[in-house]
Amino acid sequence: MQRMKRWSRLGIGAVGAGALVVLTALPAGAGATVTINPSATLSSGTVTVIGSVTCSFTGLNQITQGVSYTDTLNVSATEKTPHGQASGTEQELNAVPCDGAPHGWSATVTSTTGVSFVGGSGNASATYSACTVVEAPNSGALCEEGSDPNQAITISGTTTTTHGKK
């Protein structure tokens, strides 16, 4: 079963070079929902994790009045193998627009520990954020964030030997 977590953030900004900080509460219903599919695919020692993101603050585009925003999806995967722990993170920039609709995503994670993914049980996490710069008079940034912090996954597929380790 997929787990999901949802929350809203405050828009936080500083005006000028001084210490004045503007806090802007986002509308009710604003937020991002992130899900991870519990089935991941193994291919040549890497794991492909899939899921979906819904960024529900469609007003983000209206507030910015054409000023672009950036969104980021960070996906991590880990697996305990007979050769040690395989673990890695993949970052996708401009992966999913904040338009209120659900969008599928896919991230191929390569282990950075020197131990390849081999298939079996593992864990994945995903964090999504969409931020925009708001121009004067309320200079600052508005952000939407959401995460699925620790989803159990089953990794299946083919594996090859890398540096003597599967």
Rounded to an integer, the average pLDDT of 75-80 is 96
pLDDT > 70: percent of the chain: 62
Q: Confirm whether 57 is domain-assigned.
A: yes
What CATH number is associated with residue 43? 2.60.40
Residue 166 lies in a domain: no
Residue 40 phi, psi dihedral angles, 5° rounding: -120, 160
- Give me the domain span that covers residue 129: 4-157
Give the DSSP letter string of 8-47.
Answer: ---EEEE-SSSS-EEEEPPPTT--EEEEE-SEEEEETTEE
Domain count, the chain: 1
Tell me, yes or no, whether 59 lies in a domain: yes
Residue 112 domain-assigned (yes or no) = yes
Q: Is residue 71 part of a domain?
A: yes
pTM as predicted: 0.72
Mean per-residue pLDDT, 96-118: 89
| Cβ contacts of 99 within 8 Å, gap of 6 or more | 55, 58, 61
| Domain presence at residue 117 | yes
